Structure 1
Amino acid sequence: MIDESIPYLAIFEDDVYLGEDAEYLLNTTDWIQPTWHIIKTETVNDKILLSSDRYEVIAEKRYLAQLKGTHLGSGGYILSLHGAKLYFDYFTKNKLIPIDELMFDTFLSEGLEPIYQMTPALCIQEIILCGANSALLLPGSLMTDRSNKVNKIKKPFTYKLKREVSRLALQMKKALSAENIPFK
């Protein structure tokens, strides 16, 4: 994308279902504002924090709002060329981390770049749509890698305590003002 100066690129994992309006949204870019460099197009059916500012993408059907809290998962998103350069620069200066952690945690917590969430979401991974116990028609290639990883690094008590206090505060905030992003 960077080498060929491609202005926008939609990226999807291999086990996503696309929703209504996909043909229009993925074949045109006139709906994308120049300041939107990272657009999350998927849902993981978890409540998330969004800004109250809404930007209509398709009249009375879809809008974007800036993410205000972590929303892990990178099954589908759109990057601008500027967004791709931000990621590339970050990876060359820092340790490699999973892209969803970089996009939807690090960038948010460090205020590096606003991230926008499409709602209703344009895509959803099959495991989220059908459930973990269903027979999957589109088994993702990352499933095996993820299921084989076990975090064996022991964290210090202070880290665990801080994480739990933060988690409790976030749960309270989500209970009061978070939204569920539907798939359509």
Structure 2
Amino acid sequence: MHGTLTHNYVISLTTAEKRRQHIENEFGKQNIPFSFFDAVTPSNIEEVAKKLNIILDRSPKALLSDTEIGCALSHIFLWHFMLENQLDYINIFEDDIHLGENAKELLEIDYLPGDTDVLKLEANGRIFGGEPSKVKCNREIIPLTFKQSGAAGYTLTPKGAKYLLSKVQNKQLTLPADDILFVTFLNQKDYNVVQLLPGICVQDFIINPNPFESSLSAGRAQVSHNQIKSSPLEKIKKEWIRVKRRFFGKPVPFK
């Protein structure tokens, strides 16, 4: 962690010089204060997991690679950090995002309903139904009701941090960060997630024909061999979710 206490944190490997320069430019354009959080790596996942009371599966058949574990722990660490430092909210980003218009104003989340757990900031996936509410800078927020991928930009409230930490602490970590945030617990009635429309950040690979190289791809390829075989019904459900994500609903725009 570098810099003074702020509401904006960007998860980044200490060695990712190109990405860090990109982030400094993006946030600098709008004079948005932020701090880098040095991403958890395979070399310190055991230490961080112990601090956070997270149980790891390091067996050859583990469902997450060490890189994915490091990514998830980086997010979880910041949830814990927010509560520990009594921040009233935290904006968490990954280091390949581009920021849209009015980002500085919209990252001051005085427009969120009091029962909100998570505000998804990024333009990724599609929106299904839900009643939008107008907020500032000609944007809307809408309840997120269908499973989404991506955790490259979101706001977490203390209520949300407490809820998510209760779901992962003292348990074995088997889910990547975006599944914890936007898939597994999404439609539980005590967990309230909303999407900002249009989104104010987008990952580089979505808009750039020559995106930054992913640090997760190798780890995901390694873990794919370890996945438990799905039943025919589970395969059908996964395919339906994939098709629904691709062809139905309204795409989340970026502005």
8 Å CA contact retained: 1:39, 1:77: yes
CA distance in 2: counterparts of 1:173 and 1:126, whole angstroms: 23
CA shift, 1:176, in A, is 8.0
Q: Does 1:87 align with 2:164?
A: yes
8 Å CA contact retained: 1:48, 1:71: no
CA shift, 1:171, in A, is 5.9
Alignment of 1:1-184 (within 5 A): 1-26=82-107, 28-44=108-124, 46-51=125-130, 53-58=131-136, 61-96=138-173, 97-131=175-209, 134=210, 136=211, 139=212, 143-149=214-220, 150=222, 151-156=224-229, 159-170=230-241, 178-184=249-255
Q: Percent identity?
A: 25
Higher relative contact order (CA 8 A, sep 6+): 1
Number of corresponding residues: 171
Runs of 4+ that moved beyond 6 A? none
8 Å CA contact retained: 2:134, 2:141: yes
CA shift, 1:115, in A, is 1.1
RMSD value, Cα: 2.3
8 Å CA contact retained: 1:49, 1:174: no
Q: Deviations over 1:8-35 (max 9, x none)?
A: 0000101111101101112x33211111
8 Å CA contact retained: 2:126, 2:248: no
Q: TM-score, normalised by structure 1?
A: 0.81
CA distance in 2: counterparts of 1:103 and 1:113, whole angstroms: 10
8 Å CA contact retained: 1:56, 1:63: yes
**1:108 counterpart SS class:** coil
Q: Deviations over 1:126-176 (max 9, x none)?
A: 111114xx1x4xx37xx22333332112533xx241233214544675688
Residue type of the alignment partner of 1:81: P
Gaps of 5+ in 1: none
CA distance in 2: counterparts of 1:173 and 1:14, whole angstroms: 28
